[in-house]
Homo-oligomer: A and B are copies of this chain.
């Protein structure tokens, strides 16, 4: 049988490993074809998961829950993608209404949504953080807000220019257009988010982008600014994720899942081994902290391709925190959580229980610092963790054992242990939470 011969060939290779013993758990692996069969229903369920959880209430079976489904649209706010001409006309109407206000003797002020912590809300049904509807007045004719309202007017005028020109700029570019006024980039950055909220559109609609950081490789074809990109033909380096999601489109894939990887070392291993050819998948990483471009790209893949997302992060509080930013959003950009978050990300590994289960040697585990333990305990109080009993159990174990481990700790069993044993076994056992 072809299966057996390819298996024995693999055994032979493993025998060459620098560890003289057989790789732990390798003998539990079934043939790839069997693992692939177990994965297929996953795609089917992922593409219809929202319809099964809310069979009749939602108008369209594939649409995720929204604020209005939960009757929250009056008390919470959310932005949406605007076309450039919509952004342009919103700015123009805003300016018109301010002119009216001035002419009618009511003065010049902006009514800006508050983005303070007290105005944030985690909604379990949506599994993400949203922004409540409190506003703050920013009058020009007041000593405490004259600067901020001037900055707001300036940012609005700059964005209006970007719409006319249809180009993208970075936050740093914005800052440099008037250093004297902004003084410090944090000030123009903050007002930029205010402007997004105020206009009710996403920050990407404003054509202001963050520097790109992420890369993607594997079973994905998409268009970047008109060029068709085949991510199976991107060598080992992969394709840099474009900074502007609005010029990304035409996504096609025959993958069974998306593998979201925290660090680039693990990404490189999987890219070189072309793991996506053995188990059809798309591999994506932001190389650490998730940036806006990678978050938008991941969401777009999940939404358009209807694939399950499995996350491979370090077994420490920051790994889980990173997972949560992809899944539920960050507080700073909660006004745009609907567009930035990817629902239903599964925690594949490295999970605290894996440390014993996969017999990761003591010397490859690291003791958690006081700060780590505090962050872990804080996470246990967060709603998005509490909601998932499996996550609570894992995190409790982490805080109890006071041990953490990086993905790379698997290298103690051989450099390819991750791609040849750990991940295939995880997939075979559908071992995710």
- Residues of A bordering B, CB below 8 Å: 13, 16-18, 157-158, 161-162, 164-165, 167-170, 172-180, 209, 211-212, 215, 223-229, 233-244, 247-248, 264-265, 268-269, 272-273, 287, 361, 363-364, 406, 408-412, 415-416
Whole-angstrom distance from the CB of A379 to the nearest CB of chain B? 25
**A167-B416, A235-B229, A265-B173 are known contacts. Are A17 and B161 too (CB-CB below 8 A)?**
yes
Cβ–Cβ contact B229 & A225, under 8 A: no
Measured between alpha carbons, how far is A412 from B172 in the docked complex, in Å?
11
Measured between alpha carbons, how far is A416 from B10 in the docked complex, in Å?
55
18 additional A-B residue pairs with CB within 8 Å, beyond A175-B408, A234-B240: A17-B161, A18-B177, A165-B415, A167-B415, A169-B269, A172-B408, A176-B406, A176-B412, A179-B412, A211-B265, A211-B268, A215-B240, A225-B235, A227-B233, A229-B233, A229-B235, A237-B242, A243-B268
**Closest 5 pairs between A and B when the two form their complex, measured CB to CB:** A224-B235, A237-B242, A180-B363, A225-B235, A176-B411
Cβ–Cβ contact A168 & B16, under 8 A: no
Whole-angstrom distance from the CB of A166 to the nearest CB of chain B? 10
For A165, list chain B residues within 8 Å (CB).
Answer: 13, 16, 415-416
For A162, list chain B residues within 8 Å (CB).
Answer: 415
**A161-B17, A170-B265, A272-B167 are known contacts. Are A234 and B238 too (CB-CB below 8 A)?**
no
**A170-B268, A180-B363, A268-B243 are known contacts. Are A235 and B223 too (CB-CB below 8 A)?**
yes
Cβ–Cβ contact A268 & B209, under 8 A: yes
Measured between alpha carbons, how far is A381 from B351 in the docked complex, in Å?
52
For A235, list chain B residues within 8 Å (CB).
Answer: 223-227, 229, 242, 247-248
Measured between alpha carbons, how far is A248 from B211 in the docked complex, in Å?
25
CB closest chain-B residue, reference A222? B235
Whole-angstrom distance from the CB of A246 to the nearest CB of chain B? 10
**A169-B415, A416-B167 are known contacts. Are A212 and B212 too (CB-CB below 8 A)?**
no
